[in-house]
Every structure is written in C-alpha cells, then in structure tokens.
Chain A
Amino acid sequence: MANDITKNRKAILVTPENCIGCRACQVACKSWNQLPGIKTKNNGTYQNPPDLASAAFNIIKFSEVPSQENPVRWLFLSRRCMHCEDAGCMAICPAPGALYRTAEGAVAFDHDKCISCKLCVNACPFDVPRFDEEGKVSKCNLCADRIGAEMQPSCVKTCPTGALKFGDRNELISAAKKEGFATIYGENDLGGLGTIYAFKDKPKLYGMIENPTIPSSVIFWHSYLKPLSLFGLGGVVAAAALHYLAIGPHKEEEEKKEEV
C-alpha cells in the first residue's frame, strides 16, 4: 500500500537505551486522554500498572536482566499500540469505522462504532487492544487529535531524555541508522510498524517478540474465505441462471412424450 499515507507516515521512535523509567509518558498520556487512575498492588517490580489497560494506553515495561559488566541492569521499554501497516485488528474488525487509519498512518478507534465483539484483541500480534467498562475498544491512537493539529503525541512531548521521538517515519529510521543502532525493530515487520524501536541490544532482552505475525487463521480467512464467500454466491447464481437458460426447468410434458 504505497499510497499517500505511507509516504507521509508518522511514527514514534523509541530508544530504550535513553529511557530512564520516569514514566512521565504514562502520566502525560493519562492527562491528555483523560484516563482515570488504576488501583494497583505492589508486586515487587518497578512496572506499574502491570500491563496495558483500558485506562493505560502506554506503559514502561521493566525487565531486570543482569549482565557481566552490569550486575544491576534495568531495562525500560515504552510500550503502546504499534500502529501496524498490516493491522490484524483492522482486518478482523466487523464494524466499519470502529478501527480506522488516520491520515498520518495511525490506527485510531471510534468508541461509538465499536460493537464490543473483541475480535481485535485476538487478532493483535502485540496484545494491545483493551476493552473499557462499557465493553468498547480502547488503546493508543497516536494522539490522533494532537498530531492532526501538528503537535506531538503527549508521551513524546513530555519525554525528558529523547527516548521517545515523533516525526516522519522514514526520517526517524534513517536517523536511527546513522546513529549506529544494531536493530531497528518494526522497520519491515507487518508491513512496517508505526511504533519503531532502536536497539543496541537484542530486542528479546526487552521482552519484544521476534517476527510478529497476524494469526494464520486470520490471514487465511482474509485472503481466501472472504473472497470465496463472495465468488461462491456469485458463481452459484450464475450457474443457476446458465442452467435455467441452457437446460431449462423440469418439464412434465416432455417426460410423458418420451415415455410413450
């Protein structure tokens, strides 16, 4: 889909190396999107809330991975919707407009159009969509209202270290490459992600999944079953019309004559 959106596609570049785990991005996100606080328990980790939630569009994922040089290595990873180019959630969603693509290439949602079927939750390779107390989809929409007005997403705006950057997707990628990062996660995965990561270490250390894919059943359904349902019906109607014209309906008279 090399359309205008792809050319002007915006993205968030996350550089976990620079993240100090201050979680200002979490607070800014809640503030802009007017999300309520979540009561959580201390479960012995720096990560709080424990996972994405309908009231937590982004979180800092925390992993403690000691290495030989650094016995106290804390890894922070800012996690949110990946805004995939080939978005499993959008493919499977049966309600038009409930999940949609913004002009900047983000996957945004419309609370009122969501029909609460939760298919998107199960088709997302990154376990991102959540459902609120009304049973409607909710997730990061790349601050579609802000970026539409040429502002940065609130998480990026507040990030004090530059661990989050927002801008033209191609420019962000080439800049990160120039800086010498070993892996640009999401450059080509799922047609290219809208949340990309610049890693020096292996992405797996941070808990990133390798080779994310849309569930194969969803791909099979989208590529074969959907067309089959259409061509199947069309084919049967055409075959019936052809049969009616070429061979014709059952006739009692004809049989009688033959029998005589």
Chain B
Amino acid sequence: MAEMIRKSSVDEIVNHWILAGSCILLMITGYAFLFHVESIGSVLGGFNTMKTVHNWLGVVFVLSLLYSMRHYLRDALEYDADDKQWFKVAGGYLSHKVKVPPMGKYNPGQKLYYLVILVFGIVIAISGFGIWFMKDNMTVMLISHLVHNIAFCVFVIAVPVHIYLGTLANPGTFKIMVSGTMPLSEAKKKHPKWIKSVGKV
C-alpha cells in the first residue's frame, strides 16, 4: 500500500461532518419553510416540530462552525503570490492545459470559501437568533428575516459548489473526509508547499 499522509485530524473530520450534516438539514428545512413544502414538514412531524428542529440544528451548526476556526482560520487568512496566480488560471478548473502553481495545504478557492462560510454562517446564526428570540421587536425581526434570507441564498449557491469540487470534480478528495489521510505521492503533486513545510520531501 502506498505511503499515506494525514491531512485532517479525527476531530476535524468529525466536526466537518457535524457542520455538513447540520448545514444540509438546515437548508432542506429552510426551503420547506420558504416554499411551504408540506412533504418535508410531514417527514419531521409537522411544521411546528420542524421549527424546533431547524432552530436547534442552527445551534449545532454555529457551535460547529466556531469550533472549525481552529482547523481552518489561520490557513484561510494567508495568501501568497502562487495564490494570486491560482486565480489567474481559475485553479485549473476551466482548462486542463494551464499550469496550476504549487499549492499549500489549501488552495485560495478553499480558503476564500471558508471565510465566506464563516462570515455568512455567523450572520445567518445571529439573524436566526433574532427571529427566534426577538419576536416583539419589529425592526430586529424584519432585518433579521431579510438578512437570514440573503445569507441563505449565499449558502445554497456556495455549498453545492464546495460539494461538487470535493467529490466529482476532484476524484479522491472525498476519501480525506472519511479517513483523513491521502497518499503521500499524490500530496506531493497537489500540495507541494504543504509537504515541504511538514518536512516530508
């Protein structure tokens, strides 16, 4: 068997699944509220129960999101010249012929994605708490409702892109979400700067 290198720790994998699971369920129940999808409400025992599920999943989601900062935030805030070049070639996703610059542990697309999710995740959580707890303040309620829905649009556009890039578009990537490891040989090609920094070259 090929030599493997650990990319994600166990707590990172577990937390990412909690984040992903709560996020997807929140989006599904969110759509159900938005478009009165009675079948989804029925699965969860009616819209009253679905509201409770949605609210508490939101708590799970935001706690998981805040915890994820210890895994990704430092990387997500650092950008270098190669990252700039990465954007110029669109990460190699629009053509296989371009040369993609050497990457660290995460490419800048992933790093920006994380920042978007972190910011809008906090925004959607705060506005969600506004709708949940500030029912008698009209201004807070209406602004929260608007902001919650703007952030929702960001999520339903950004998250599917992330899922596509982490599965079909990059075969093998999904395995990291299960085992946390990837073959060293592959890591040397995809993340040369990361491998160099951990001294495996």
List residues of chain A with CB under 8 Å of any chain B CB: 92, 94-96, 98, 113, 115-119, 121-123, 215, 217-218, 220-221, 225-226, 228-230, 232-233, 235-237, 240, 243-244, 247-252, 254-255, 258
Decide yes or no whether B169 CB sits under 8 A from chain A.
yes
In whole angstroms, how far apart are the Cα atoms of A118 and B189 in the complex? 55
Given known contacts A229-B34, A233-B156, A233-B157, A250 and B92 CB-to-CB distance under 8 angstroms = yes
Kindly identify which residue among A119, A236, A252 contacts B141, using a CB–CB cutoff of 8 Å. A119
Chain B residues near A236: list those with CB within 8 A. 156-157, 160-161, 164
Chain B residues near A117: list those with CB within 8 A. 51, 131, 135
Question: Are B156 and A229 interface neighbours, CB within 8 A?
Answer: yes
* Residues of B contacting A: mostly: helix
Question: Are B149 and A229 interface neighbours, CB within 8 A?
Answer: yes
Question: Are B142 and A218 interface neighbours, CB within 8 A?
Answer: yes
Min CB gap A185→B, angstroms:
23
Chain A residues near B41: list those with CB within 8 A. 96
Kindly identify which residue among B51, B97, B145, B170 contacts A115, using a CB–CB cutoff of 8 Å. B51
List residues of chain B with CB under 8 Å of any chain A CB: 31, 33-36, 38, 41, 47-48, 50-51, 92-97, 131, 135-136, 138, 141-143, 145-146, 149-150, 152-153, 156-157, 160-161, 164, 168-171, 186, 189
In whole angstroms, how far apart are the Cα atoms of A255 and B168 in the complex? 18
Min CB gap A52→B, angstroms:
15
Chain A residues near B161: list those with CB within 8 A. 236, 240
Interface centre among B31, B50, B160 (most CB of A within 10 A): B160
Question: Are B141 and A247 interface neighbours, CB within 8 A?
Answer: no
* Residues of A contacting B: mostly: helix
Question: Are A94 and B141 interface neighbours, CB within 8 A?
Answer: no
Kindly identify which residue among B35, B145, B169 contacts A119, using a CB–CB cutoff of 8 Å. B145
Chain A residues near B186: list those with CB within 8 A. 252
Chain B residues near A220: list those with CB within 8 A. 146
Question: Are B146 and A221 interface neighbours, CB within 8 A?
Answer: yes
Chain A residues near B94: list those with CB within 8 A. 247
Chain A residues near B171: list those with CB within 8 A. 249-250
Chain A residues near B47: list those with CB within 8 A. 94-96, 98, 113, 115
Question: Are A244 and B189 interface neighbours, CB within 8 A?
Answer: no
Min CB gap B139→A, angstroms:
9
Question: Are A240 and B168 interface neighbours, CB within 8 A?
Answer: yes
Question: Are A122 and B141 interface neighbours, CB within 8 A?
Answer: yes
In whole angstroms, how far apart are the Cα atoms of A236 and B169 in the complex? 13
Min CB gap B198→A, angstroms:
21
9 contacts between A and B (CB under 8 A): A95-B48, A113-B47, A118-B135, A229-B152, A229-B153, A247-B93, A249-B170, A252-B186, A252-B189
Question: Are A226 and B48 interface neighbours, CB within 8 A?
Answer: no
In whole angstroms, how far apart are the Cα atoms of A122 and B131 in the complex? 11
Min CB gap B26→A, angstroms:
13
Question: Are A226 and B34 interface neighbours, CB within 8 A?
Answer: yes
Question: Are A250 and B169 interface neighbours, CB within 8 A?
Answer: yes
Question: Are A228 and B153 interface neighbours, CB within 8 A?
Answer: yes
Given known contacts A225-B153, A251-B96, A255-B189, A240 and B141 CB-to-CB distance under 8 angstroms = no
